[in-house]
């Protein structure tokens, strides 16, 4: 009874319960050989993962420049989160559904969304929300809402007897939203096959992680909904991949899992006027840059003779050509008119909407 009432000891135990899972350290060296064996990726698969991460970084760099030129709408930079986003996405089946947040465009592109449509989504064009056969949905702007959507899709998979999962992402700030808990609680109760990711990049826009919550580990919040929850080095692609792979299998057989990835965004929250140096120091950014997941994985693959500077330069050139074509394609899509926005709001516009459509069309708008 005395131990139960020792509140201080209970708080201290959280650190031992949520140890950070890591396979590849910051120097590109393996620190958990047993876990590496469970990763199970062949050399060509490791190279493909690296190519996808480089694609994500290149897309980030080009999108950042396009945003500065006023050629995109909303854009949330992704540099630094390639292991957290791409390596996790790599662990799922092509028929699994991804429910992204607004920073998770790379996962959608890697699921098959054409890059030009990602640009159109950023510009607010309706064609950017037409997904065709892509197993996913448009990036959620409402913080944490994708957790609720994921729970519903996962339950649908279970009721239909499909061997697929739904997976989703939010940031550390998202764990302070009601939808975050509600989605996990619903999925947990019905043992729905869902995998929830918290990309803890240290800041909810400008709010530091330590001022958001007293929880020592955001993964601990999964326990409140009855979910097995873990903390992973989000700059380590091998650890993130294995965690996601293992969570997917568990979810199919037992129900949802929560994974907190410790990562960092090297740039601003978004290109909509955010200046990260107003709420974090350059020294802090520089320390995280030393943990760049691309540098870590590049070193590992280089030591295995699977990747070199020439290979990367050739691939970046190819990706840039794809992006060049995507920009042209997006620019050539017919611009939306005011009447188009009204037409697309409702499947069957009411009388008032019909009158507005007729009015604007008469003016050529």
Q: How many domains are there within the chain? A: 2
Which domain covers residue 365, as residue numbers?
Answer: 336-365
Specify if 14 maps to a domain: no
Residue of 103, 269, 296, 298 marked active site:
269
169 shares a domain with 305: yes
Specify if 13 maps to a domain: no
203 shares a domain with 255: yes
220 shares a domain with 107: yes
Q: What is the pLDDT of residues 107-141, one digit of tens each?
A: 999 999 999 999 999 999 999 999 999 999 999 99
Place of tokens 């107003």: 278
257 shares a domain with 360: no
**Predicted confidence (pLDDT) at residue 2 exceeds the cutoff of 70:** no
Counting residues of the chain whose pLDDT is more than 90, the rounded percentage is 88
Rounded distance, CA 258 to CA 225, Å? 10
- The answer to whether 219 touches 170, Cβ cutoff 8 Å, is no
pLDDT-based confidence at residue 1 (cuts at 50, 70, 90): low
- The answer to whether 289 touches 266, Cβ cutoff 8 Å, is yes
Is 279 marked active-site? yes
According to the model, what pLDDT value does residue 233 have?
Answer: 98
345 shares a domain with 330: no
356 shares a domain with 213: no
Specify if 42 maps to a domain: yes
According to the model, what pLDDT value does residue 343 have?
Answer: 87
What average pLDDT does this structure show over 188-198?
98
Lowest mean pLDDT among 84-98, 101-115, 340-354: 340-354
250 shares a domain with 142: yes
Specify if 149 maps to a domain: yes
According to the model, what pLDDT value does residue 236 have?
Answer: 98
**Predicted confidence (pLDDT) at residue 4 exceeds the cutoff of 90:** no
Residue of 13, 65, 279, 359 marked active site:
279
312 shares a domain with 175: yes
Kind and range of the H or E element at 258? strand 257-262
Q: Report which of 256, 267, 192 is spatially closest to residue 221, judged by C-alpha positions.
A: 256
Specify if 272 maps to a domain: yes
Is 265 marked active-site? yes
Q: What is the pLDDT of residues 232-274, one digit of tens each?
A: 999 999 999 999 999 999 999 999 999 999 999 999 999 998 9
**Predicted confidence (pLDDT) at residue 171 exceeds the cutoff of 90:** yes
List residues bridging with 258 in a β-sheet. 196, 229
Residue of 57, 265, 296, 298 marked active site:
265
According to the model, what pLDDT value does residue 5 have?
Answer: 87
Specify if 4 maps to a domain: no
Rounded distance, CA 78 to CA 73, Å? 16
225 shares a domain with 94: yes
What average pLDDT does this structure show over 183-194?
98
Specify if 98 maps to a domain: yes
345 shares a domain with 262: no
For residue 118, the domain's CATH number is 3.40.50.970
346 shares a domain with 287: no
Specify if 263 maps to a domain: yes
Is 269 marked active-site? yes
168 shares a domain with 134: yes
Q: What is the pLDDT of residues 281-303, one digit of tens each?
A: 999 999 999 999 999 999 999 99
What average pLDDT does this structure show over 304-311?
97
Strands 194-200 and 203-204 come out as: unpaired
The angle that helices 309-332 and 43-68 make with each other, rounded to 10 degrees, is 50
């Amino acid at each position: 009874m005395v131990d139960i009432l020792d509140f201080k000891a209970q708080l201290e135990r959280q650190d031992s319960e949520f140890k950070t899972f890591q396979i590849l350290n910051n120097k590109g060296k393996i620190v958990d050989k047993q876990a590496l064996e469970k990763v199970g990726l062949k050399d060509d698969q490791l190279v493909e993962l690296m190519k996808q991460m480089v694609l994500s970084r290149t897309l980030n760099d080009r999108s950042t420049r396009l945003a500065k030129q006023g050629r995109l709408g909303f854009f949330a930079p992704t540099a630094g989160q390639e292991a957290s986003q791409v390596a996790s996405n790599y662990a799922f089946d092509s028929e699994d559904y991804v429910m992204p947040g607004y920073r998770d465009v790379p996962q959608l592109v890697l699921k098959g969304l054409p890059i030009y449509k990602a640009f159109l989504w950023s510009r607010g064009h309706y064609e950017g929300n037409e997904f065709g056969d892509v197993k996913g949905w448009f990036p959620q702007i409402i913080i944490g809402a994708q957790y609720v959507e994921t729970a519903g899709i996962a339950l649908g998979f279970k009721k239909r007897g499909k061997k697929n999962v739904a997976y989703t992402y939010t940031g550390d700030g998202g764990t302070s939203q009601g939808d975050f808990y509600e989605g996990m609680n619903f999925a947990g109760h019905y043992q729905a096959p869902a995998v929830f990711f918290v990309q803890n990049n240290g800041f909810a826009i400008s709010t530091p992680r330590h001022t958001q919550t007293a929880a020592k580990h955001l993964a601990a919040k999964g326990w409140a909904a009855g979910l097995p929850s873990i903390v992973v080095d989000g700059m380590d692609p091998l650890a993130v991949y294995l965690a996601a792979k293992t969570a997917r299998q568990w979810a199919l057989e037992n129900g949802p899992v929560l994974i907190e990835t410790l990562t960092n965004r090297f740039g601003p929250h978004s290109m909509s006027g955010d200046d990260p140096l107003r709420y974090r120091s350059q020294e802090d950014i520089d320390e995280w840059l030393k943990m760049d997941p691309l540098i870590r994985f590049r070193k590992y693959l280089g030591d295995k003779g699977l990747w070199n500077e020439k290979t990367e330069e050739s691939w970046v050139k190819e990706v840039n050509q794809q992006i060049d074509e995507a920009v042209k394609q997006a620019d050539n899509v017919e611009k939306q008119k005011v009447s188009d926005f009204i037409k697309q709001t409702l499947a069957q516009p009411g009388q008032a909407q019909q009158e507005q459509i007729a009015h604007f069309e008469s003016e050529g708008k």
